[in-house]
Structure 1
């Protein structure tokens, strides 16, 4: 659906040249929710603006649905942009227009008749959960409602791609989750390809299928969200994963485990995807003569499944403990054994 080759953007300033995006390559499949994450200054906002040529690239190419966006003249680009919706961090609504008229605005520009505009706007208002608010003004809406208007406006022309530029950064956590749920719903109902940039791993974890990590204008790591959570390679990726999986009490808990449990074996179990539903602990208790103490654990959910970590103690006869550990390893649960954590 989206193919990006050797994409670069250099900003020329009075004092220096700034390489915002540096030879970026990316493939995004149709119907995918693709997350791009990076800290401030990583180049992600410039990257997403390059996708609809709000910024022109210095080098490289962008193909969307087999059309080379980078080679289009202004007239053809205007038409191509009708198939690329965009929502923004600070909503970018027209404050003198009602909800209805904000959503209708791109349809007016496209030359749609008023009767068709009104029908389409009502469909979109219903889709984003704003029924009855069509005649309200932005100043009368909450942050989440404003973003819903922004999403409806971005969908007005039935785009093939929806670009989300830090779409939830200005919202509180509960409202963020409701907007993310709406994006998932839209993705599933319309089969829409969504490219979402953020600095919050919670956003990636909750709705994205694939993720790319940006640093200094480059993609330093990419892949399936669950794989990136499980096996982060780069330092910056590990910092992002810690946003969700990090546990400020973990070190204290492990020190307490060391001090309290002097016998048996301490295991760290990693449950992945459907494995999180396995009754492993109860099965071990029934099948082996070992005492199982659950010491510390955490679980998180991604679009591709759950990931959980559990610290347990196996106590009992040495041979029986070994048999229980071997049984764990025979399942698809990953096992790390350490007598002293």
Structure 2
């Protein structure tokens, strides 16, 4: 569906050449919800602008449905963009137009008849849950409602790809979840391919099938979201995963426990899928003559299943603790002894 090959984008600045996207290659399948995550300056916004031709690459190529977006110009590019829509962090609505008129705007530009524009706009208003608000102006809408208008407008030309540029960053958590639920529903109902960029791992966890982690213009980690949660490799990925799998004060808790209980081991367990529902801890306590204290735990749900983390303090003889850890590993529970915390 989407193929990026050795994609590079450089900008000339007062301080010299800046490489915003550095030799990125990846494929995105039709109907996939694909996330791109990174901190500010990672290059993710530039990458998404390369996908719809708002930026041209310095090197490499962008192919969407066998159309080389990176090479086409003029009328051909404008037609291609009708199939690659975009929603934005700050909505970008026309404030002098009503909800329905905002949604009709791209159809108007495309030369669609008034009757067809009206019918399509009303259909999309129902799809995004704004029935009864079609004659309201943006100033009369909440942030979530404005973003729903933005989504409906982006769908007006029946696109193949929907790009989301930090689409929930300006929204409160509850509204963010409602917009993410809407995107999942649209993906399932329309089979639409969605590519979203964000700096929030909660967004990735909730709706994405796969994720690319960007740092300094490069994709440093790529994979299925559940696998990334289970075993992040890069330090930056571990920080993102910790946003939603660990309490903010986990490190302080560990240090505090080490002061109180200098003996024993602190062990972090990772559970995936059906493992999160198995009574592994009960078996451990029954089987081994050790003291087990639960420090903290969490279960995160992704589009492909659940991933849980649990921090334990194991107290007892060194031999029994080693045997207990081996028992957990035999049950395919990922274990990590928290040394040097």
TM-score (norm: length of structure 1): 0.90
Q: 1:273 and 1:76 mapped to 2: Cα distance?
A: 46
Contact 2:230–2:271, Cα closer than 8 Å, also in 1:
no
Q: 2:44 and 2:53 mapped to 1: Cα distance?
A: 14
**Secondary structure of 1:124's partner?**
helix
CA distance 1:62–1:262, change in 2 (3 Å) = closer
CA distance 1:116–1:251, change in 2 (3 Å) = same
Residue in 1 aligned with 2:183? Answer: 183
> Are residues 1:20 and 2:14 paired?
no
Residue in 2 aligned with 1:95? Answer: 95
Contact 1:264–1:339, Cα closer than 8 Å, also in 2:
no
Contact 1:258–1:340, Cα closer than 8 Å, also in 2:
no
**1:72-221 paired onto structure 2 within 5 Å:** 72-221=72-221
Kindly report the root-mean-square deviation, in angstroms, between the aligned alpha carbons of the 2 structures. Answer: 2.5
Moved more, 209-218 or 244-253: 244-253
Q: Would you say how many aligned residue pairs link Structure 1 and Structure 2? A: 341
How many angstroms does 1:169 deviate by? 1.2
How many angstroms does 1:256 deviate by? 4.0
**Secondary structure of 2:20's partner?**
strand
Residue in 1 aligned with 2:235? Answer: 235
CA distance 1:243–1:291, change in 2 (3 Å) = closer
Residue in 2 aligned with 1:332? Answer: 332
How many angstroms does 1:279 deviate by? 1.8
Residue in 2 aligned with 1:47? Answer: 47
Q: 1:37 and 1:215 mapped to 2: Cα distance?
A: 9
TM-score (norm: length of structure 2): 0.90
Q: 2:200 and 2:103 mapped to 1: Cα distance?
A: 28
Moved more, 329-338 or 281-290: 281-290
Deviations 1:76-112 (A, max 9, x none): 1111111111001111111110000100111112222
Q: 1:214 and 1:339 mapped to 2: Cα distance?
A: 28
- Identify unmatched segments of 5+ residues in structure 1: none
CA distance 1:284–1:48, change in 2 (3 Å) = same
How many angstroms does 1:309 deviate by? 1.9
CA distance 1:325–1:237, change in 2 (3 Å) = closer
- Identify unmatched segments of 5+ residues in structure 2: none
How many angstroms does 1:291 deviate by? 5.5
